[in-house]
Amino acid sequence: MRSHPDPDFRRKASVDYAERCVSSSSAASPATITARLSALPCQHMGNRGLFDRGHTLWSSWTVTSGASSVYFAGDTGYRSVPKGLEMRDDHTPEIQAQHAHCPAFADVGKFRGPFDLGLIPIGAYEPRFVMSPMHADPYDAVEIFRDVRCRRALAMHWGTWVLTEEDVLEPPRILKDALKRRGIAETGVFDAVELGESREFESHGAQDKVVDWEEASR
């Protein structure tokens, strides 16, 4: 692995959930960019080897810099769907009421939101009974978007390679239906951009909240 040319980006830090670290870089001279990164919970297994599953944290992240805030959901599920339910069937209100979802995302929104932008996964979800604990599908992704209180979002974790059983280009198509079901515009709010496309987003003024996560969750 090649080192980043800016030594500020080569520092490493270990943090627990809700802990933060600050990184500064003068690479964009003459201005210095300072960002505050915070590790937050999500839903995924974590391990470094064959025999240490569940011994390390799997995190989502928030990044605040100046008046801008970004939520990076990372590789995450939203709930666990049992075998026997088809993908679309498990999103009806009746089925959702029977199967609990991960409460961490609502906590993120409550204690650290809202966010200018969310980066939220939408792909690699079939079969659901295998993948749902680790990978959100587009319907789950919209629920994460709502829970963490993002103003805008970009879809990620799709279209790179054939990893699971759904068509590799299916997730963006289903995302539009998922947004429609929640009464959210199908474009301009939570988008899946074309491969190689760039987007710019305006900041709405981040509130850098300092919250005792364990105390606030009681």
Residue 45 lies in a domain: yes
Query: Left (φ > 0), alpha (ψ -120 to 50) or beta: where does 149 sit?
Result: left
> Residue 143's pLDDT is what?
95
The answer to whether residue 87 scores a pLDDT higher than 70 is: no
Distances from the Cα of 55 to the Cα of 34, 50, 51, 68, 78, angstroms: 31, 11, 9, 33, 20
- Number of domains into which the chain is organized: 1
Please give the pLDDT value at position 151: 95
Would you place residue 10 in the very low, low, confident or very high pLDDT band (cuts 50, 70, 90)? Answer: low
Whether 18 is covered by a domain: the verdict is: no
- In this prediction, residues 189-198 reach a mean pLDDT of 90
Spatial separation of the C-alpha atoms in residues 115 and 145, rounded to whole Å: 10
Q: Are 77 and 134 in contact (CB under 8 A)?
A: yes
Whether 185 has a pLDDT exceeding 90, the answer reads yes
pLDDT tens per residue across span 120-163: 999 999 998 898 899 999 999 999 999 999 999 999 999 888 88
Phi and psi based region of residue 142 (left: phi greater than 0; alpha: psi -120 to 50; beta: remaining)? alpha
Examine residue 25 and state whether it is found in any structural domain, yes or no: no
Residue 217 has pLDDT above 80, yes or no: no
Give percent of the chain above pLDDT 70: 77
Residue 200 parent element (H or E): none
pTM for this prediction = 0.81
Structure tokens at 109: 């929104």
Phi-psi region of 117 (alpha: psi -120 to 50; beta: other; left: phi over 0): beta
| Any domain includes 216 | no
Compute the distance between CA of residue 41 and CA of residue 144 in angstroms, rounded to an integer.
12
First to last CA, the chain: 42
pLDDT at 82: 86
Residues of the domain holding 196: 31-210
**Sign of the torsion angle spanned by Cα atoms 107, 109, 113, 117:** positive
Amino acid at 56: T
Residue 19 included in any domain = no
Winning range, highest mean pLDDT, from 41-50, 53-62, 159-168, 202-211:
159-168
| pLDDT tens, residue by residue, 107-126 | 999 989 999 999 999 999 99
Q: Is residue 159 part of a domain?
A: yes
Task: Report the percentage of the chain scoring pLDDT > 90.
Answer: 38
For the ranges 18-27, 54-63, 208-217, the maximum mean pLDDT occurs at: 54-63
Tell me whether residue 147 is in a domain. yes
Whether 202 maps to a domain, the answer reads yes
Phi and psi torsions of 79, nearest 5° = -160, 175
CATH number for the domain including 69?
A: 3.60.15
Q: What is the mean pLDDT of residues 98-103?
A: 86
